[in-house]
Structure 1
């Protein structure tokens, strides 16, 4: 069953890699004057090649360099970008006046006719919970946690990573405000409206001095290539370990494992490239990736770590029901219409009419079915596990290498 559970994580890594390729391709396209499709192909070849050849060492060492490059590049470019847009205050006031409904950190319910009606606020929280908790059960994160020397260091590094993530969010947000208020030439503005993913690299190329712009573009490339290489390496490792060694080829040696991982990296790099060329939307791929992990894997991870009584039957039941509830809500990225009319089913407890819970422009459902699907998984997993405990005994976490019978004791701070 664990070999099935890794499939959503594997799919998530591929979708995440595709998103990153769009970001890398947008930057390369600005630097080299290429169209987005050609730039994505070039980015895929370069990043997949150095990850496949260098493995974990290439990821570890490039991560160190690229993290520093991100901090320096963004810090150097931000003042010039804001200055070109009239300064921080002028840029922010322009944004607030143009987008009054989108300038708050947390949306506030407004009167009829405003952007933030009750259904849209509920949908915003549904997506926010998905993005927060869907960012936890990632194999590339746990690869780094398990590589720490002690649990104390693993906790400390995780907390530090969270703090740094929040700090690194601020410059891109301010860059977005500057880009919104920047006086773009008409042809550039039309280009950015067609390809929003190119906004940040174009801002670096046109709104800041050339030397600083190159540093800023290098910061984007550094940040995104670091994540892409980690993601496809993680996907290749999961397929090789969870799939081939566990199910198909138990006698796989270390040397053979390395070859399989390299081949898997090439395979997933190609798959991510196809997705990036098809979708070409960073936001759509990012949301769908978090969605997949949040609904299917977050409940499984929480109970695997913190509930000693859960078993395989409970895990299967929670996974399958959550999957059906999520698919029932539809997915525009995959062209899947909704088949479960959640607003009509819950009309007796929802404010307004069922029609209010559909977006008037896109027809997308505003009902929080993602959180509902994950919540049902949280309820079913422990409940079914306890009901079926006599037929399926819970299993302790053991040494994943399979070489010893030593049990791992999961300790929480």
Structure 2
């Protein structure tokens, strides 16, 4: 396996990229092949990873147990927006580890108020419900929307509905896959919870037809990630906002993948200057260190919850709050949003140059792209495996589409190197 052809002296963090170790990295002396084989009998087969075993990482670079280095162009599905082991985030985690990690919400802790204040200020909303994983944030958002519908809107008990978009990805709980149209995620897990209506994405007329007096909320991804980075038409998000206001239901924006700098703005809804009633955040909120998610909403919405009606032992724990606060501090500078916007133009230029040369088309916003590869060249999985051999890590989605979502700390030179690797993989 070879590394990308150009290796910069430093990353955007100001740290040197990982160099090849004198001996295999990590605590195990087993080879990649041995470790992959060892997983098969003891791990559930719910993932199909690329055949690489990562042992160390820094910035945009990862290293396997044999010392081969790769550019990470996936960034943990946006969980690593700030790169691997960003110094400010690692320092915040180390400092908190020496003080306090968990109290449960049975007691207050000294880090939670600052985290909630910072996240409310960053998003322009009022209140925060801290959770852990993205799926938990979505489930919590659904519960809150239903409670609001009954307590505030006056929907009769157990009749609240939520309108969602086709080709959505909001997580993998039984409730969530019940309103998915991805049969791989859905088949074999029923029966499913009622109360959801599915309409085509990017179709305001269909959305309006589905909303009625029982509708608690419209839940959508401002950009659909798992579906291949589907970007709606200009005016769609503002249309959703207008429709939900006019019909008296909530607009819930799932920004777990699209938020926190990925698209060149703090939130993807910022591209249309839209403020939803409820934001669902996760992934990058934990800085790639700990799982952190949150429901952030208007006070009227989150005020429907009372003690005992929802909770999480680890939600809002001091370690998560410390790391999440450090993430908020990074975003408050605006530097990462600007980097994503500026380098997004480099990404678009590179993909445009490859269009017609193995790339059939692409959709990109900021440092996020869904790239449709000519099926004659291979499936998305096969292209991802070729890129692995070029020292570039990506992940396929449906068919022959691959996703590119590098850390926002990537340099122009590193990004161009990854695009050169893609060109070679298509050759």
- TM-score, with normalisation over the residues of structure 1? 0.29
Question: Max radius of gyration: which structure?
Answer: 1
- TM-score, with normalisation over the residues of structure 2? 0.29
